[in-house]
Chain A
């Protein structure tokens, strides 16, 4: 009887410590804005994210230099002039999913993540809607949201104004696997 209790206890604690942590190393993040002269589009496959299903904690991080553009000059300007990736190498989101999702049940769950979006070294409190999908232990999260350049002190000079939209559409898609112990 005592042995059973001890074994049960040990199993519970191991199970609890590892429970609910899901990680993604290759989140797909893309940005898009339509402007009169040319569309601005970039994509990265190397965003990282961790989701704690037990607490709802959600963190995202992406290296600014990992965004790939069609035009190499646009990519250079994105890094050196607009996002200043030498000073602010990463964009991050740290927040919490408001809804409690039972990740053992398959389904599509609309969720809202509330937290701090840090781009260009400027933090903004955001409430970002998304969709969480559970399929046999695999969690997928997708979200589409807008980022205003002015909110993150990304200056667009008047002379190139027509080339660049003031609001950028972001698409995020991350497939998580259980992070284990």
Chain B
């Protein structure tokens, strides 16, 4: 009797153990994989395709040892007394041309140099990414700081200091699936106020805001609006807030933007200081941006 009980126990144990193993085997490979694999890592969200929209710069950085070359154009008025078919809707005139170079010292720190036709302004730029938006929302926003120091080497000025201008900007952005939004509190300091008129301030705050709406994986619609908080400009009805609308296409190493804006100038110091063109008088223009990325990382990296 005792022996029989033990025997049946052993047999029961045998069944139990084999049944257990069978059940285990079915999902064991899967569960072991999950155990060693872990969840996907949070990654940096790419908010914009380019470092520049129409009139404002973005939070995006040039990656380490990458070099970005930008050519930006603003043509003449499309309509109004300076536009129309006589000037091929402004294409015959070039109001501003901007050449810019941006280099990634690291993924979060860029230096730049650019030159604009208006004022023959040469600017040196530092750009630092304080934080990036992450896919798990542990960091919901991206914050990038921009500092620019500019000099106007030509023209009659009393002292070298009078040629200098400065811009400081905190760029804050977030991507909501297909919509990227950005707002940039800005401080402008121009030792010689532009335009040089009695009553114009040497320094003022401004705000730039922009949106990008994704159309496809490689193209988007851009909206861009800027406003200077300046008594002189608020009290003078000639001054207009720069508004831009653009279409952006990315093709591998290039980003092309075609836009329409009332702003004549490209550099932020110029366009925040002196935008006197009106949409209602046909004073808006075609502009474009071409940017080309070069990668200088060593090729032998695996």
Q: A interface vs B, CB < 8 Å?
A: 2, 5-6, 9, 12-13, 16-17, 20-21, 23, 25, 37, 43, 48-52, 54-55, 57-59, 61, 63, 65, 68, 70-74, 76-77, 79-82, 84-86, 89-90, 94, 155, 157, 159-160, 163, 179
Q: Which residues of B contact A76 (CB under 8 A)?
A: 46, 63
- In chain B, positions 1-43 with a C-beta closer than 8 Å to chain A are 6, 10, 13-14, 17-18, 20-21, 24-25, 28-30, 32-33, 36-37, 40-41, 43
- Residues on A with beta carbons closer than 8 Å to the beta carbon of B14: 9
Chain B: residues with CB nearer than 8 A to chain A?
A: 6, 10, 13-14, 17-18, 20-21, 24-25, 28-30, 32-33, 36-37, 40-41, 43, 45-46, 63-64, 66, 135, 216-218, 249-253, 293, 295, 297, 299, 301-302
B10 touches A5 (CB 8 A): yes
- In the bound complex, what is the Cα–Cα distance between A69 and B149 (angstroms)? 35
Contact between A16 and B21, CB atoms less than 8 A apart = yes
Q: Chain B residues near A59 (CB, 8 Å)?
A: 29-30, 33
The CA of A43 and the CA of B302, in the complex, are separated in Å by 8
Q: Are A160 and B295 neighbours in the complex by a CB distance under 8 Å?
A: no
In the complex, what distance in Å separates the CA atom of A2 from the CA atom of B5?
A: 12
Contact B21 A13 (CB under 8 A): yes
- A71-B295 CB under 8 A given contacts A52-B25, A65-B41, A157-B216: yes
Taken together as a complex, chains A and B put the C-alpha atoms of A85 and B295 apart, in Å, by: 23
12 A–B contacts from the bound complex (CB under 8 Å): A9-B14, A21-B29, A50-B29, A58-B29, A59-B29, A61-B33, A71-B295, A71-B297, A81-B218, A82-B217, A86-B135, A160-B251
Set of chain B residues within 8 Å of A57, measured between Cβ atoms: 25, 29
Contact A179 B32 (CB under 8 A): yes
Main SS of the interface on chain B?
A: mixed
- The reply to whether A17 and B21 contact each other, CB–CB distance below 8 Å, is yes
Partner of A9, one of B13, B21, B217: B13
User: How far apart are the CA atoms of A120 and B77 in the complex, in Å?
Assistant: 46
B30 CB to closest chain A CB, in angstroms?
A: 6
Task: Name the residue on B nearest A45 (C-beta).
Answer: B302
Separation in Å of the A133 CB from the closest CB of chain B? 20
Question: Which residues of chain B have C-beta atoms less than 8 A from A74's C-beta?
Answer: 252
B63 CB contacts on chain A under 8 angstroms: 72-73, 76
Q: List chain A residues, Cβ under 8 A from B40.
A: 63, 65, 89-90
**Distance (whole angstroms) from the CB of B195 to the closest CB of chain A:** 40
Give 3 nearest A-B pairs by CB, closest first.
A89-B40, A13-B17, A72-B63
* CB atoms of B218 and A65 under 8 A apart: no
Within the complex, the shortest CB–CB distance from B62 to chain A, in Å, comes to 9
- In the bound complex, residues from chain B placing their C-beta under 8 Å from that of A179 are 32
Q: A179 CB to closest chain B CB, in angstroms? A: 6
- Residues in chain A near residue B295, CB distance under 8 A: 70-73
Using Cβ atoms and an 8 Å threshold, which residues of chain A touch B302? 43, 68
